[in-house]
Amino acid sequence: MSFLHKKHFKLSFCICIILLILVSLISTTLGSANIPLRETFSVMCSKIPFIKNLVNYSNISQDHILIITEIRLPRIITSALVGIGLSVVGASFQAIFKNPMADPYVLGISSGSALGAAIGFILGLDGSIFGNATITVLAFISSILTTLIVYSIARVKNKIPTTTLLLAGVSMGFLLSSLISIIMVFNRQQLDKIVFWTLGSMSASSYNQILTLLPFLLIGSIIILSFSKDLNIMLTGDDTARSLGIDVETVKKLILGVSSIIVAACVSISGVIGFVGLIIPHVVRMIFGPDHKVLLPFSMIIGAIFMIISDTIARTIAAPSEIPIGAITALFGAPYFIYLLIKTKKKVI
C-alpha cells in the first residue's frame, strides 16, 4: 500500500461508507412501487432511536411504510451482509491458496448447500409450517457436512495441503452438482424452485434471516480481519512465513474453517451467487493494493455496495417479475474477469 493510501485510509473508508448509505437509500426507492427519496429518508430516520421524534412521517401512506420497512429494507440489509461475507472470504481464500482464481465456493460449499436445498424442495419442506426456514437449515447443514468431508479427504496427518484441498473441493463440487442434476431430472415439478435457488435470490429476506446471519458474519469477519498481518506474510510463501514465526497450518485451518462457516451461512440464505468473492477482491486490490489490512475491510464495503446494486437490478429490471441475482452478478463479473485476464496476458507477452 502506498503512502498516499495510508494517509487517506480513513477518508477513503468514510467515503465508501457514505456511498453504501446512499446506494441503500436509492435502492429502497426503486421497485414495482416507486417511492420518493424524501419519504424513504423520513421512514428510515424514524427507526433511529435518537432522532425518530424529530421526523414527521404522518403524511406518508402506510403502504409505502410497509414496503420500505418490511420488504425492501430487510432485502437490502441481507444483500449487504451477503456481499460482505462473500467478499471477505474471497480475499482470504485468494491469500490462503495463493491463487487469484480462488473464490468462496472453491471447496464445494455451494454445491453442498444446493444439494441440501434441492432435497428440501423435493420433500416439500418449503411448504411445511416453518416454510423457507427449513430449506435454509438444510442448506446450512449440508454445506457444513460437505466442508468436513472435503477437509477429511485433503488432510494429511495434521496438515492440510492447499493444493490437495483445492482439488478435493473441486472434485466434491462436481460430484454434488451431478447429484443435483439427477434430482432435477427425476423431479421436474420442483425444477423451477431448484434452478432459481441455485442462481441466488434475496426474495425471501426477512429480519429473522438477518439475525441468523449476523452472528456468523460478525464473529467470522472479526477473526479473519485479526489475521490480516499473517495473510500478508503468507503471501511470500509458507516457508518464509514459518521462518518469521507464523504457525502456517494453524492459521490455514482457522481461516478456512471460519470462512467455510461464513459461506455456508450466506449461501443457505441467499442461494448460490457467483463472482462476488472472486471479482471484488481483485477490484479492491487494483485500487488500494495487496495489503490485507486495507484489502479486507474495503472488500467488505465494496462487496456490500455491489450486492445491493445487483439485487436492485434483479428485482426492478423485469418488474413485477424477478431475475436471479446470480445472473446479474455474473453479467457484471464475467466480462470484468475476462478483461483482467486479457490485461494480464498482455503484461506476460
Nearest to 72 by CA among 110, 101, 44: 44
pLDDT for the residue numbered 193:
83
The cell for 49 is: 432511536
Q: Tell me which residue has cell 430487510.
A: 74
List, for the chain, all residue ranges whose pLDDT scores fall below the cut of 50. Answer: 1-4
Per-residue pLDDT of 6-58, as tens digits, reads 567 788 889 999 999 999 999 999 888 888 888 888 888 777 777 766 777 67
For residue 46, what are the CA distances in angstroms to 40, 41, 71, 109, 332?
A: 10, 9, 16, 40, 35
Q: How far apart are CA 72 and CA 24, in angstroms?
A: 10
Q: Does 3.40.50.720 match the CATH number of domain 3-348?
A: no
pLDDT for the residue numbered 3:
41
pLDDT for the residue numbered 11:
85
Each domain of the chain, given as residue ranges in start order, spans: 3-348
Q: How far apart are CA 126 and CA 208, in angstroms?
A: 16
Q: What secondary structure letter does DSSP report for 107?
A: T
Q: How far apart are CA 191 and CA 246, in angstroms?
A: 48
The cell for 145 is: 457436512
Nearest to 25 by CA among 8, 44, 10, 12: 44
Nearest 10 degrees: CA dihedral of 90, 96, 97, 100? 40
CB atoms within 10 A of CB 141: 15
pLDDT for the residue numbered 47:
72
pLDDT for the residue numbered 2:
43
Per-residue pLDDT of 115-128, as tens digits, reads 998 898 888 877 66
Residues in the chain: 349
pLDDT for the residue numbered 281:
93
